[in-house]
Structure 1
Amino acid sequence: MALFTPAVIEVTHENAVVEAGLRRILGAWPEFEVRGAKGASGFTAPTGDPDVIVLDHASGIQWAKNLQRHPRTSIMVVSMTGQETDVRSALAAGVRGYVLIDCSADDIVNAARALAAGRRHLCTAATLLMADSLAQPTLTMRESEVLALVFRGNNNKEVARALDISVGTVKSHVRGLLMKLGARCRTEALWIASQRGLIARPMDAVADLSAMSRQSSSDGSSAALRVTATRPRTLPTLGALQVSAAWGLRRAG
């Protein structure tokens, strides 16, 4: 009789509930041997030579860049956020699997199975994010600079002075931004850009709100920014992970 060797998967996530859910989902399958790799400050190093390491977004990118000594190991990210720039940055760093927190338990299992077999895997939502980004017009470097300055609360004159261009050129770039982002005004353009990850996320901007509110803009860009900065960020649901994690933690207690 042939011997069955399970794939070794180490699971460590910044969110304890998510981590418990991941362990329960993957541990229910005999094809996986689920281990932990958490030190005093989170994930420290793989134990031995695991087939897959499951991490949160930040840790996944960090360790994907530092796994030269473990060429057989694949990094799988289970992310709390879903933006195209997050997926792109992870793939560029060497992450081979990317799953969003609101995916199904089957997606988690399929991702771990694919990575253990040496393949890549993106969950359906992450795949759609990447497909949408490919279908959308890309911003030029100058348009990105203008967008960043508008996001900081600069009006047209201040943007022109910062980039050493004319106010007319700034207005032309703003019109181009609105067209490429499919926005009707600066407020909407800033919100769309934040959702796509082209600028800081809305919640990241709240800390700077007091400084931004002191700036004034004759063309309304500061008002638009204040609306964008204070709009609440939509948090993803835990889906299958929430139920599994809660069940697992109750048993552990």
Structure 2
Amino acid sequence: MIDVLIVGARWTSAHHSVTHTFADALDRDRFNPRTLACLGSRSIVKAAVVREVHRSIRPLILVGYAQGAAVVGDVASEFGGGGSPIAACALISDPFRPRGHAVGNDPGGYGILGEREIDEVPAYWAAARGDLTTALAPGSSLRMVPELFDYFDLSTDEAVIDWRGRLVDASIREQLARYPAARRLWHSKRGEYFMATASLLTGPHETNYVRLGHVERLAQTINKEIAVHN
């Protein structure tokens, strides 16, 4: 039996369909899934995941969605291999997805926070087209606004409100004034500011991960590729 630790997005109540769909698609004769709440900042959740890794007495697969993917991907990269119980990781809407890595069709682009390679353990990514968190175009003006990245370390609702205000302020700074084309994109009717806040706060693409089969396809890949080696 292989344990599967699933870490959801920051807003767990809004994203149950993604993590539940993944767990339901696993072969329960070989995998034992359980969920760890993604509450608090990324550093707090990462510490909780590391504790679970150290406590594990069986092979362990780390699974994460959105902020959860940022955390478990970091843990797999830093603690995988070399006697670690981490057997693999599966990342959904990973903000650090490296370009060219996706189960099924690659939607292009790469993670909004950059690219993180995972070399020591098998790693699999699910990425939906249009998800700015994991498939942002290389030249997007969103990459110019560092306040966007702070979202993944927010720990309270009050902090989210403050962050949204800072993100609006960033859109009118001299920083963007130096890039007229980016400024027009940022403020247009379907501008990148509105796309970003909608994608990060309301998750309009979360249904695509379930409806278009990305999550189930990722779980079936784990069923096929990992269980036969353990």
Fold in common (TM above 0.5): no
What TM-score results when the alignment is normalised by the length of structure 2?
Answer: 0.44
Structure (1 or 2) with the larger CA radius of gyration: 1
What TM-score results when the alignment is normalised by the length of structure 1?
Answer: 0.41
